[in-house]
Amino acid sequence: MKKATGPVSHLTTPIRAWAHRFAFLILIVAAFALMLLGKADTVLVERARTAVTDAVAPILEIASRPVATVRDVLDQIRELTDLRAENAALRRENQRLRQWQAVAQRLEAENLALRELAQMVPDAGLRFITGRVIGDTGGAFARSVLVNAGARDGVAKNQAAITSEGLAGRVTEVGLRSARVLLITDINSRIPVLVGESRERAILGGDNTGQPKLLYLMPNSEIRPGDRVITSGHGGVFPPDLPVGIVTQASETAMRVQPYIDWAHMEFLRLADYDLPRQLSPSGEVAPAGPPMGALR
Amino acid sequence: MTDTAWTRLDGLARGLSPFALTLAFLMLVAVPLRIPDLSPILPAAGLIAVYYWIVHRPDLMPVWAVFLIGLIEDLLGGGPLGVGPFVLLVLYAAVASQRRVFVGGGFFLLWLIFVPLAAGAFVLSWVFSSLILDQFIAVRPVFFQYLTTVAFYPCLTWVFIQAQRAFLR
């Protein structure tokens, strides 16, 4: 590089340093502006987020495949080693489940009869969109995953994301080919739930730890460790009766829930499209949109 | 004529390699590994990368690139927006103001300096994220993420040293 000499260099060096400092200050101000913008939660921020996730989705999808394959192979090896023990356990479980099946069939028939008797409005049908988990982002400050299904696949905001075990989270951002699912453990997650056999109403609120808290409980509610937690469907966003978790701690200070879901094996997520049948109402057998109470009259 | 154009293009690509490599690492830590309890405490790749490049090649990690890396990290991670760029800019200023300490510093000295610098960065992230979310964020995962970040520093740094040898003699 040539060294600048003469009066020009005397001028350019301070100007350059000044410009550098100026750029730094502008970017600091820009960072603060972003914090305010993010807090205002405008459409613009969401668009920027979905643009980035849409852009990296194909790369993440390719990268996540080999990881999943290696993982599957390891799992298969482990399964092979304790095949006999697992077989025996499955036999026992099968026997137990057969009894449960009989009970469930009897209850379903009874339920149907009672529903007809009470002329209850049928629940909106569910349609599922399945997406592969391609991104596990967030670090210590947020809990969310990216799935490779987006608006073009019918994903919409606020759909419930579930696995065969239970509720995982809620769709918060939808791009064209990717979507972000806010997990129930995230600090911003709030889900209306019912607790235990007495079906106490509560809100399940995450706090970035593995076990979310139960909030806004009635003062004299009786909740014990071991109680089942399911979604309530209040607010009409989520389907009711999705399994969420089990109460592990029920003290004066905190009520905590251990989610059913096995985060380490969450390879696919099913996104429950709850409202669609009601909006489309193809055959008229589904109740028209509107509050169920009005439809009962 | 074309020769100089090619050399220019080549130079540009080499100059952009720290930035591109950092982006690649940001994506790499986002790939789901399905190892229990790992995802919340994955190392903050952006922090390590930006530290490495502003210490070794500040000419190839200009202040706007630092800002952009923080922004992309925030957008990708889904956390509070603006905290990432702010923390990385503070790190940038801290390193720039004490440049004499870093020049000629060996690997272990730089790692040793990174320990308190990363702690400061995580504390700053925690404070601003808590302010934005209006509630105290759980400290445990943040602390563990800090530990993994410090522990993974040598691995990432090794890759960057190889890259610097390969592309940026």
> What are the pLDDT digits (tens) for A20-48?
888 899 999 999 999 998 888 778 888 88
Band the pLDDT of A287: cuts 50, 70, 90.
Answer: very low
* Same domain membership, residue A198 and residue A90: no
Whether residue A268 is contained in a domain is answered as yes
* Same domain membership, residue A98 and residue A146: no
* Same domain membership, residue A101 and residue A185: no
Q: Do B63 and A20 touch (CB under 8 A)?
A: yes
* Minimum Cα–Cα distance from B139: chain A residue: A140
- Nearest Cα neighbor of A39 from B72, B88, B127, B81 is B81
**Residue A107 lies in domain:** 85-120
φ, ψ at A226 (rounded to 5°): 105, -10
CA B96 to chain centroid, in Å, comes to 15
Q: Is the pLDDT of residue A280 over 70?
A: no
Q: Looking at the complex, report in whole angstroms how far the Cα of residue A72 sits from the nearest Cα belonging to chain B.
A: 10
Q: Where is A213: in which H helix or E strand?
A: strand A213-215
Of B34, B39, B64, the CB nearest to A23: B64
A133 exposure class (CB count in 10 Å sphere: 0-12, 13-18, 19+): buried
CB < 8 Å to B133, chain A: 187-188
Q: How many domains does chain A contain in total?
A: 2
Least confidently predicted of A51-65, A162-176, A237-251, A274-288: A274-288
Packing angle between helix B107-133 and helix A7-40, nearest 10 degrees? 40
- How many residues are listed for chain A in this entry? 297
Q: With an 8 Å Cβ cutoff, is A86 touching chain B?
A: no
Q: Is the pLDDT of residue A168 over 90?
A: yes
Q: Do B125 and A141 touch (CB under 8 A)?
A: yes
CB < 8 Å to A139, chain B: 40-42, 44, 77, 79, 145
pLDDT in tens, A192-213: 999 988 888 999 999 888 899 9
Q: Which of A63, A97, A120 is the last residue of a domain?
A: A120
* Same domain membership, residue A238 and residue A107: no
Q: What is the pLDDT of residue A164?
A: 85
CB < 8 Å to A39, chain B: 132
ipTM reported for the complex, 2 dp = 0.84
Q: With an 8 Å Cβ cutoff, is A32 touching chain B?
A: yes
CB < 8 Å to A61, chain B: none
Least confidently predicted of A231-240, B66-75, B133-142: A231-240
Band the pLDDT of A276: cuts 50, 70, 90.
Answer: very low
Whether residue A113 is contained in a domain is answered as yes
User: Helix and strand tally (H, E) in chain A?
Assistant: 5, 12
- Nearest Cα neighbor of B74 from A55, A42, A183, A31 is A31
Q: Which of A95, A120, A145 is the last residue of a domain?
A: A120
Calpha distance B84→B125 (Å, rounded): 7
Mean pLDDT, residues B47-62: 91
* Cβ atoms of residues B143 and B32 within 8 Å: no
Q: What is the pLDDT of residue A29?
A: 94
